[in-house]
A and B are shown apart, each in its own frame.
Chain A
């Protein structure tokens, strides 16, 4: 027997260690569930960490009400299948006040329906640790984020004041009201995630696979017709062979032209693709360093 782990097995072992450490050190952990592929992988790792037991903490979905219908139905089915406890939180006050990307723009909408909703739900649930599926390769400001990332009582991140993190010794000490965001997938890349989904046969939302979809082509982006996207003059939806590389809210998530209908095809596409993952997310492009600004305020 050769005592070598493949890179995926190594990453898996590292993530399991992180997830167990949280369970051992914190009183009320919760796992953020975004319904996306990274969340699916994170949940599989949590299942592995506690096997043969079930995941011993709840999953939390922050629902902006602008999620794709396919995502919501997948979410409910998936959580039933794995026997997980699902919490859904929506900033109902903001919805009542008609906050939407169309009314206040994408940045403000995100601040109310995602960031504030998240911070509120963590506080209401008195969660002292919250897992997120973010990866360091996603975006520049994430490259410096710790695996155990400290947040003050307002949920804010201070990039200048991060705790040193050495070996696999994570500092889990917090005062009441403060919390830790934990990123077990920190060292995974997008390609690792796809390979793992393929090898482990992990269920994902069908929107990741290519098919003919009704789309609006706007500024080089493919915008889906889910919900009531207002059309600009002259715009006409057309059938495009495409798939979603990341899943967010429908007004802010573009698709990519693709013919990848299976996991191996997606992986092959990943290996040759020349555009980064988050380029289909409208919010990241809003302003230079916008992810960092949002993270400072409490975004995941």
Chain B
């Protein structure tokens, strides 16, 4: 054998590996793109090409091979024309080896996208240039960001069908960048391609001379991934205790993150005992240093009782140790999450029983909006709080992709039902109720009134500054009652003011939507404003659905119970639907809007109102009269004027 080959082999064996996932539907040309990468980098065998040619709709024509057939594996799928599961593909170039996790893009396959992204260094999101940024493109990006894939390439495909127009590409880039600003994607790139024609996939396309960047394959070959691993925090979950003879006791496992050296002082969790690394053993000999993701066997200088699931760490760099934690969870099973049930939780070599304590919210993966709790269903993502039977040793997933993840296993069916990404203990986003209690604390520290007193204002205006809070379903005449009340009060010499939801949402709450959390925050702001108006002496009227007792309690707390008069307009749902002028019920039935109280969002009839008015029976005029007499009774208006 001549000499050059072994050195050439040496070079090839020293290649690095890049794992990437692709997401997109059949229509985006994802399978075609992968077929193109494999074909153009000469990684498809002739007999495979022949069998695809046999199946292609256009036979004998090399140029129009149905490229997607290379990747659509199972028979059932080929019949349905869709890819239904994560499939792994392999190819290599002289520079790198690649493993592709090829995942389907349909909505119901969120779990497959998450699976593919879990091991990926990079994700490719495919966008059809003709269709632009679709909800599913956003969903792909969101899942990649949730799974902390460090690099994201947006490939704008089918450029041939839009005349290779740079403006189309730029428009999509702008729209996607705006969206991605809300995600955590450290490295975001865009590339215009034509998978069918091969443009910018392997070779630069002369039809898109305006694009100055690398071809997709060159990008994949050059992207720097060595720095993506966590080399800071040494974590070694003991996988298996190796005791082949009486005088050898080693701890086998894979370094989850960080670096360990012979002689290092290490601490064992959960016992907290410390020792030093005596040696790091491998079949290929002892090593002085080992790093993520090497599989090694560690020997310690002292005899300590250590078993599977324990963790070796550096004493001054410890993970969190806890029996309860919060996590973002992707639900993957047909049976929805059952908070009554316990599940097995597998994390960093430990398996323990776990129970869901609370569902904070679900995420609408298309809009990123937060939806109220409820059990998670298949392919839904949510933020949950867990409690577990044995303490876990973990880091936030955002800091450590190896020790911050877990899977849930159903104790009865043994199915893997969910995947989770752990979150730092402190919730990063303060919720409305937290803000409200903080505000209460701060207010209690304020000195009492400094200027003109409430009594002086009431004496001047002949009214007390209180808030009449009118709650009720959509279509229960809240606004009509509020404005009629305002008119009557004004004519009687009072100074009333109606706070309307529309006004507040058009300005003060412009950044909020209709999720449970955002509704709470919206009402918190309304209540703060009403409270300030009350202090200025104005008799404020608020007409807000405020569907839950929790929300109304929050409002009462902020305004102050002595300034808060709650009026509940109670009417049957059907009556409200007939009476509805906004058309919200009709839209809800067509599925155009979600989270409509009383429809797909809870509506709790008030139990704490000063007056419950059966509006369907009384009508607006009678309702106003009832409220006026209540205000008179309570001495709110009129009151003694000086």
Contact = CB atoms under 8 A, between A and B. Distances in A.
Interface of A: 1-14, 16-17, 20-21, 23-24, 47-54, 136-137, 140-141, 143-144, 159-160, 162-169, 171, 173-175, 186-187, 189, 191-192, 195, 198-199, 262, 264-265, 267-268, 273-276, 279, 288-289, 292
A265 B15 CA distance: 20
A239 B512 CA distance: 81
A53 B283 contact: no
Lowest 5 CB-CB distances: which A-B pairs, in order?
A53-B244, A276-B45, A16-B295, A7-B17, A166-B118
Contacts of B402: 167
Contacts, number: 180
Contacts of B415: 163, 171
A2 B291 CA distance: 10
A171 B281 contact: no
B407 A171 contact: yes
A142 to B, nearest CB: 8
Interface in B133-167: none
Contacts of B244: 50, 52-54
27 contacts: A3-B291, A4-B16, A4-B226, A6-B16, A13-B295, A17-B254, A17-B295, A48-B283, A49-B252, A51-B297, A52-B281, A137-B90, A141-B73, A143-B88, A160-B84, A166-B405, A167-B402, A169-B346, A169-B347, A173-B409, A195-B12, A195-B13, A198-B9, A265-B1, A275-B46, A275-B47, A288-B75
A21 B239 contact: yes
Contact of A279 (B47, B239, B283): B47
B283 to A, nearest CB: 4
Contacts of A276: 45, 47-48
Nearest to B5: A264
A143 B14 contact: no
A271 to B, nearest CB: 8
Contact of A5 (B253, B294, B346, B407): B294
Given A7-B97, A47-B283, A48-B282, A264 B9 contact: yes
Contacts of B240: 20-21, 23-24
A6 B18 CA distance: 11
B452 to A, nearest CB: 63
Contacts of B16: 4-7
A171 B90 contact: no
Contacts of A53: 242-245, 248
A125 to B, nearest CB: 21
B530 interface: no
Interface string B79-104: 00000111111101000110100000
Contacts of A262: 1
B416 interface: yes
A20 B239 contact: yes
A165 B416 contact: yes
B97 to A, nearest CB: 4
B301 to A, nearest CB: 18
Given A20-B295, A136-B90, A164-B112, 6 more contacts: A10-B17, A20-B253, A164-B111, A166-B119, A166-B419, A274-B46
B233 to A, nearest CB: 14
Nearest to B411: A173
B9 A144 contact: no
Contacts of A265: 1, 5
Contact of A195 (B5, B9, B259): B9
Contacts of A166: 114-115, 118-119, 405, 407, 419
Contacts of A273: 45
B295 A49 contact: yes
Contacts of A198: 9
A227 B153 CA distance: 56
Contacts of A187: 88, 90, 99
Contact of A164 (B74, B119, B229, B332): B332
B308 interface: yes
A164 B419 contact: yes
Contact of A292 (B13, B75, B284): B75
A8 B627 CA distance: 79
A144 B1 contact: no
Nearest to A288: B75
B252 A20 contact: yes
A264 B419 CA distance: 43
A139 B284 CA distance: 32
B73 A51 contact: no
Given A20-B295, A48-B282, A143 B89 contact: yes
Contacts of B14: 6
A3, A4, A11, A199 interface centre (most CB from chain B within 10 Å): A3
Contacts of A141: 73-75
B483 interface: no
Contact of A159 (B9, B85, B92, B416): B85
B1 A264 contact: yes
Interface in B501-544: none
B438 interface: no
Contacts of A162: 85
B76 interface: yes
A163 B416 CA distance: 6
A165 to B, nearest CB: 6
A33 B119 CA distance: 29
Contacts of B347: 169
Contacts of A47: 283
Interface string B47-59: 1100000000000
A252 to B, nearest CB: 17
Contacts of B71: 143
B231 interface: yes
Interface string B245-275: 1001000111000010000000000000000
Interface string B410-426: 00001110010000000
B293 interface: yes
Contact of A144 (B87, B242, B414, B416): B87
A144 B74 contact: yes
B6 interface: yes
B406 interface: yes
A141 B14 CA distance: 30
Nearest to B258: A3
Contacts of B115: 164-166
Nearest to B419: A166
A13 to B, nearest CB: 4
Given A5-B294, A53-B244, A166-B405, A191 B416 contact: no
Given A169-B407, A262-B1, A17 B239 contact: yes
B118 A3 contact: no
Contacts of B12: 195
A164 B405 contact: no
Contact of A140 (B74, B245, B284): B74
Interface in B183-229: 226, 229
Contacts of B242: 50, 53
Nearest to A268: B5
A131 to B, nearest CB: 15
A290 to B, nearest CB: 10
B45 A274 contact: yes
Nearest to B349: A24
B325 interface: no
B111 to A, nearest CB: 6
A148 B550 CA distance: 46
B47, B85, B416 interface centre (most CB from chain A within 10 Å): B416
Given A167-B119, A168-B254, A275-B46, A10 B239 contact: no
A273 B15 CA distance: 20
A140 B73 contact: yes
